[in-house]
């Protein structure tokens, strides 16, 4: 299986001098196609910063990054193109747009990629049906439960057939039943789409689903 994401010597520093924080310190990481990887560690160990670097949201101070075989040239490349074409994101607080329905929230991702409206609508409906929300298409986020919102969030992340989905603490705001339902959805989605997924989590109970667990401490990977 080929590498979907590969980072070498990735370093991210926030601030300057003594007040500066070295959030990610010279990290080497490779994520293979179809893999479910979990990044674990204490709060502040650099997990979210690392997936932000891998997801082309942050620019590293040092290091190199390849996504789907292409090296990311941070200063000169339009990273929004990489994010919408190759990466899907799932956020801890769901971050669905409150003025759009579930269907429209999924369509937005395809709208950004220039997908035609009717095609985007069909695919969004298909994805929402897959995540068990076929009867919630016209509901707005305020009318959905936390678990349902996170399912919409997963559907949105998958909308553009990304090479990898990064999920930041996707179960942190869900109760145990909702968390279990969500992980069962993740398993189904992996089987269905063979999607590569990287999940940042504190939740020890999720470990059983992981192909690989990356443990972080003080901005470094301490075990794999």
Partner 1 sequence: MKSIFLKDMAYRRTRVVLTAIGITVLILLILFLGGIMNGMRIQATQYVESTGADIWISAEGSGGAFIGFSMLIEEYMAQLNVAPGLEPHSASPLVFAQARPIIRGKPSKAIVVGYQSGKLGGPAHAREGRMFAKSKFAGYSPEAEVDLEVVVDEKMGLEIGERIVIGGKELKVVGKVESLMFVLDTPLLFMNVRTAQNVLLGNYPRVNMMIAKSGKGVPPEKVAKQFEYSPLKIEVRTLQQTIDDIIDYYVVSPMRAVTFLRVMLWLAAGILVGMITYVTTLEKTQEIGVLKAIGASNMYVMQLILKQVVLISIVGVLCGLILSFIFAAVAPIFVSIHLLESIIVAVISFLVCCFSGYLAARKAVAVDPMLAFRGEI
- b/e burial code for range 205-216 (CB count within 10 A of at least 16 → b): ebeeebeeebbb
Q: Is 73 in the site for partner 1 (CB under 8 A)?
A: no
Residue 107's region, left for phi above 0, alpha for psi from -120 to 50, else beta, is alpha
Task: Kindly identify the residues of this chain, within the stretch 90-119, that bind partner 1 according to CB under 8 A.
Answer: 91-93, 95-100, 104, 107-109, 111-113, 117
Judged by CB under 8 A, does residue 151 bind partner 1? no
55 CB-contact burial (10 Å; exposed 0-12 / middle 13-18 / buried 19+):
buried
Q: In what order do the strands lie in the sheet with 87-90?
A: 87-90, 164-168, 196-200, 36-41, 212-217, 220-223
| Residue among 57 and 213 whose Cβ is closer to partner 1 | 57
* Binders of partner 1 in range 27-46 (CB under 8 A): none
Q: Which of 11, 41, 54, 57 is nearest to 196 (CA)?
A: 54
Is residue 213 close enough to count as binding partner 1 by CB under 8 A?
A: no
Q: Taking CB under 8 A as the rule, does residue 172 contact partner 1?
A: no
Q: Please give the helix or strand (H or E) that residue 165 lies within, else none.
A: strand 164-168
Name the residue nearer to partner 1 (CB basis): 60 or 208.
60
CA atoms of 73 and 51, how far apart (whole Å): 17
- Shortest Å distance, C-beta 130 to partner 1: 19
Residue 117 or 184 having the CB closest to partner 1: 117
- Tell me if 76 contacts partner 1 by CB under 8 A: no
Which spans of this chain sit near partner 1 (rule: CB under 8 A)? 48, 52, 55, 57-58, 78, 80-81, 83-85, 87-89, 91-93, 95-100, 104, 107-109, 111-113, 117, 120, 156-157, 160, 168
């Amino acid at each position: 299986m080929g590498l979907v994401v590969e980072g070498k010597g990735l370093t991210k520093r926030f601030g300057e001098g003594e007040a500066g924080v070295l959030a990610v310190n010279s990290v080497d990481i490779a994520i293979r196609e179809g893999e479910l990887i979990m990044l674990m560690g204490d709060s502040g160990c650099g997990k979210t910063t690392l997936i932000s670097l891998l997801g082309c949201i942050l620019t590293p101070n040092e290091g190199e990054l390849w996504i789907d075989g292409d090296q990311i040239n941070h200063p000169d490349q339009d990273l929004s193109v990489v994010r919408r074409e190759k990466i899907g994101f799932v956020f801890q607080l769901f971050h669905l747009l409150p003025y759009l329905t579930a269907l429209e929230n999924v369509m937005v991702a395809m709208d950004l990629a220039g997908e035609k409206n009717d095609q985007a609508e069909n695919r969004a409906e298909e994805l929402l049906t897959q995540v068990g929300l076929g009867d919630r298409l016209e509901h707005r986020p305020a009318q959905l439960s936390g678990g349902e919102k996170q399912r919409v969030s997963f559907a949105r992340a998958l909308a553009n057939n990304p090479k990898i989905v990064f999920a930041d603490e996707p179960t942190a705001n869900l109760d145990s039943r909702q968390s279990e339902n969500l992980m069962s959805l993740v398993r189904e989605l992996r089987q269905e789409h063979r999607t590569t997924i990287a999940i940042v989590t504190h939740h020890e109970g999720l470990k059983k689903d992981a192909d690989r667990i990356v443990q972080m401490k003080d901005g470094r990977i301490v075990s794999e």
